[in-house]
Amino acid sequence: MALVDLDIFSLTDEEKAIQSTARKFSAEVLRPASIELDKLPSAEDVIADGSVLWDVFRKYRKLGFHKMMYPEEFGGLGLSGLANALVGEQLGWGASDLAVSLGASAIPFFLAMLAPDPELQKLAIQYTEDDDSELIGCWAITEPDHGSDWILSGSKEGRDPAVAPSVRAVLDGDEYVINGQKSAWVSNATIATHAALFIGLDPSLGMHGTAVALMPLDMPGITRGKPLEKMAKRALNQGEIFFDDLRIPAGYMVTTDPDVNAMVGERILAAANAGMGSLYTGVAQAAFDEAFAYAKERVQGGKPIIEHQNIKLKLFDMFRQVEAARSLSRRTVVYNSLADMPAPQYSIAAKTFCTETAFKVASEAIQILGGVGLTREYHVEKLFRDARAGMIEDGVNETLALGGMDRLCE
C-alpha cells in the first residue's frame, strides 16, 4: 500500500524508534488484549485477578511509555511533542479503550508536579519509577449532574451558583471535609490507587469556584461502585466514587485559588483534547486499514471489490479524512508542547474533528465489508463501537465546540 508518513523527513531517529516500538506494542499486546477483554461476559471480569489487563499495564510501564510526558527532573523521558503524538496514534490504532485507561492513569501524578507541597510532588517521581503498575490514577471530574459542562467554568454561565459542582470540600482547621459523588464515567475509578479530584470549594462562584486535590483512594470515607457495563470501550474500567465526610490534609490540594485552578483546567483541557485527537487519528487509521485489506481480498463480480470504482472512491475519501486528522492533531500537540500557553481552541478542534473522522471512517469501513462488518468476527465492528464513544468521552463534541468558539471570541 502506497502510504507514507509525510513527516518522515523531519522525524528524528529517537522519534522513529519510539513510533516503531509503540506500533509493535500496539500490534502484539494492546490490540489482542483489548479484543479478548471486549468479549468477556462482564466488566468485573475485565479487572479480575489474572486478567490480561494487568499484563498490559505492566508491559506498558516496562517500555517506559508512562514517562513520556514527564520532564527529566521528574524521571520522565523528556520527549518531543511530536513523539507523544506519534505514540498516541499507534496506541489508538491498537486499542482506544486501553489507551484511555493507560493515559488516565498518569493524570494525578502529572498534576503532582504542580503541587506546592514537596511531599505531594514526590508522587510524580514515584509514578515514573513504578514499572510494576502499583500506582494507578484516575481523573475524578464527571458527576451525575455535571459532565462536559466543566469546560464552561470560565464563562458567564459557568459562574452561576446553580451549576456549582455537587462534590464539595469545606475547610475545617487544617483539613478539608469532602462529600458527594463522582459518576460512573470516571475512567479507572474502581482500580485506581490515587485520584485527581475536581471539587467545588466556593458554590457562590458556580463551576468557577473549584479546586483540585490529589489523594490516595484507600482513605476512610471513600467507597466505590461496581465497574460500569457498556456497549463500547469495554476494556476501559469506569465506575462511581463516593465521598462521605472524607477528611484530607490541606496539603493534598494542588490549588484552591479559582483563577489558578481555571488556568490548570485550561492546560488539562488542551492536553487531553489534543491527546484524544492523536488517539482517534489512530482509530481512523485502523478502520481504514481493515477496509483496505478486506477490499483487496473480497471478490465480487469476478474481481476484488477494490477494483470497483465505488469502493475506490470510498477508500480514497477515507484516506483523505485520516490524513487531514493526522495533520491537525500532530500540529496541535506540537504547538502545545512548545508554547508558553497551550491553545485549547485548537485542541478542541482536533478532538472533535478526529473523533468524528474516526466514526465516519469506521462507518464507511462497515459499509465496504457489508454484512460481515456487523459481526464480531471482524475487528471493524469493535472499531465502530469504540469510535462512537469518542464523540462523547472527554467532553461531548457539541459542548466542546461551544467552548472552543467562546475561546475564539476572546
Which pLDDT does position 157 carry in this prediction?
76
Q: Which residue has the cell 490524513?
A: 323
Stretch (H or E) spanning 171:
strand 168-172
Report the C-alpha gap between 236 and 314 in whole angstroms: 31
Which pLDDT does position 146 carry in this prediction?
86
Report the C-alpha gap between 267 and 110 in whole angstroms: 12
Report the C-alpha gap between 83 and 89 in whole angstroms: 10
Q: Which of 197, 196, 201 is nearest to 164 (CA)?
A: 201
Which pLDDT does position 154 carry in this prediction?
67
Strand locations in 201-351, DSSP E?
210-216, 222-224, 238-249, 253-255, 299-300, 303-304
State the Cα torsion 90-96-99-101 to the nearest 10°: 180
Report the C-alpha gap between 354 and 36 in whole angstroms: 26
Q: Which residues of the chain have pLDDT under 50?
A: none
Domain at 137-260: CATH code: 2.40.110.10
Which pLDDT does position 246 carry in this prediction?
98
Domain at 13-128: CATH code: 1.10.540.10
Which pLDDT does position 263 carry in this prediction?
85
178: left (phi over 0), alpha (psi -120 to 50) or beta: beta
Contact 217, 181 (CB under 8 A): no
Which pLDDT does position 150 carry in this prediction?
78
The cell for 225 is 461502585
Q: Which residue has the cell 482506544?
A: 96
Contact 193, 136 (CB under 8 A): yes
Q: Which residue has the cell 471570541?
A: 409
Report the C-alpha gap between 67 and 259 in whole angstroms: 29
pTM as predicted: 0.96
Domain range summary for the chain, segments of one domain joined by +: 13-128, 137-260, 261-408
Which architecture, in CATH terms, is 261-408? Up-down Bundle (1.20)
